[in-house]
Homo-oligomer: A and B are copies of this chain.
Amino acid sequence: MKVSKEAVVEHRRQILDSAARLFRERGFERVTVAEVMQGAGLTHGAFYGHFASKEALIAAAVAHALPAGKRPAQPRATTLAFVDGYLSPGHRDDRSSCCMFSSLGTEAARGSADLRQAMTASVRRRIEDFGAAAQGETAEAKRQAAIAAWSAMVGAVVLARIVDNEALSQEILAATRAALPLG
C-alpha cells in the first residue's frame, strides 16, 4: 500500500541505520538486502524503491553513518575522551556501532567511488578535529601528528580485533594509546 511522505523518509532512514549496523557487524558481503530490509521493518521488495542497487546502499549507508561536513572546533578534552574510548576494549568489542574504518576499512578500499568519497570526507574531518589537540609547534606539525594518530588508532583496533589473545589485544590498544602524539 501507499505510505505517507513522512513515512517514506522515515523508512529510508531505517534502511540506512539497519544497513550501517549490519555492515559493521558482518562486512558488506555477508549482509543480504533482505536482512537489511527486515532490520528496517520492511520486506525486501520495497528495497529498489529506495536504492538502485546493493552497491548504492553501501555508499549511502556509510555516508549516512559517518559524520560529514565541518563543525566547530571541539575542546581538547572532547578529543582525548574520544581517543580513550576508541582505544578501549569496549569499542573494540562493539561491532554494531563502532567506527567504520576499523570494521570495514579493507573492504572499503575496494569499494565504489561514491563509498570512497564519503570515507575520504570523514578522514579529512577527523584530521582537522585531531589537529587541534595534536602535539607540534607549527600547524603542519600538528596536522602531521593528527594523521599519524588517526592511522595508529585505526590500525590498533584492526589488529586488536584480529588477535585471538585477550592480553595481547589489550596490549596493542594500550601501547598505541601511550605512543599517540596527542597532547
Contact = CB atoms under 8 A, between A and B. Distances in A.
Interface of A: 26-27, 29-30, 101-110, 113, 116-117, 119-120, 123-124, 143-145, 147-156, 158-159, 161-165, 168, 171-172, 175-176, 178-181
A144 to B, nearest CB: 4
Contacts of A164: 113, 116-117, 120
B150 A159 contact: yes
A25 to B, nearest CB: 8
Copies in the complex: 2
Contact of A108 (B113, B117, B120, B162): B162
A178 B101 contact: no
Nearest to A178: B144
Given A27-B29, A30-B29, A159-B105, A148 B176 contact: yes
A129 B176 CA distance: 17
A158 B120 contact: no
